[in-house]
Amino acid sequence: MSRRVAITGATGLIGVALARALRDNGVQVVTIGRGAEADVRWDFRSELRGTPAHAALEQLDGVVHLSGAPIGVRWTAARRREIWSSRVEATELWCRALADLRAPPRVLVSGSGIGVYGDRGDEVLTEDSTLGAGFLPDLARAWEGATRVAEQAGIRVAQTRMGIVLSRDGGALAKLLLPFRFGVGGRLGSGRQWMSWILLQDATRAIQFLLEGSLRGPVNLGAPNPVTNVEFTRVLGAVLSRPTVFPVPAVVLKAMFGEMADETLLGSQRALPQKLIGAGFVFDEDELRGAIIRALNG
């Protein structure tokens, strides 16, 4: 069992929950990031080797690399560069530093996203499916490719193709709660786009499963029952006992967010966690209603 694990992005929604869960299991957690709350300070724009952050990587069992600039904003040219640099270039730096260690960790769990598949309509997607085209697929493809140097150093690498994480404390669900509670929630665009979702607690359990198991390569982190946006809207409204009669037209979303709306809010990924299930992982919540209720209850 892992006894010492480093986490980047430990102040984010998943990172905070993961660090807490690992510590509850007796794991020593080393958080690495830009903020003063991090155990070790490191900015993704700077070299790792020869720094305190690099020294902190010695004698680790595993590393979870989650850091990255937020994607859910309009993609200006500057924002695109920030998103790309904070994922692809930072991961390249990270993996070169891990490869240079006297005793590299045995496993690296590195971030990726379900957007790697692009907008695929009703197609059922597994880790063996072809990848899509667009900014997010190109980003995720390069992001995953940046871990190659770690693999070449003998580190087992798993890339988490993360779905929509359900939590009242952040992410998509937290943003939807206010309008839905005021009775002005509704489907996005046509509502036919598929949403691959996962309860926050299952996301952290899945990452721990990857740390301890033998899976490598891309792994879909989404519950086995993705839903359309229409169904997600219906279930959320029912749980909150609120109407859902105020759809947001696609043209409005595109006017507000540009390409980001096309690839995230309106993009369709019906992805299944084939590798997780095949390896024996069992979800605590695999139905949306129960997951939303648990997410709202904390």
Q: What pLDDT was estimated at residue 46?
A: 79
- Which pLDDT score is estimated for 201? 98
Find the domain containing 271 and state its range: 4-232+238-297
According to the model, what pLDDT value does residue 298 have? Answer: 79
In the chain, what is the straight-line distance between the N-terminal and C-terminal CA atoms, in Å? Answer: 27
Quick one: CA torsion of 232, 230, 233, 239, rounded to 10 degrees?
-70
Chunked into runs of 10 residues, the chain (298 residues) has average pLDDT values of: 88 95 96 87 81 88 94 94 95 93 96 97 98 96 97 97 96 93 94 98 98 97 98 97 94 93 95 98 98 94
- Of 236, 166, 233, whose CA–CA distance to 198 is shortest? 166
- Tally Cβ neighbours within 10 Å of residue 25: 11
Cα 5 to Cα 22: distance, rounded to the nearest angstrom: 8
What's the rounded Cα separation, in Å, for the pair 38 and 61? 19
SS3 194: strand
DSSP state letters, 21-54: HHHHTT-EEEEEESSTTSSEE--TTS--TTSHHH
Determine if residue 164 is left, alpha or beta; phi over 0 gives left, psi from -120 to 50 gives alpha, anything else beta.
Answer: beta
Size of the chain in residues: 298
CATH classification at residue 208: 3.40.50.720
Number of domains in the chain: 1
Q: What's the confidence (pLDDT) of residue 43? A: 82
* pTM to 2 decimal places: 0.95
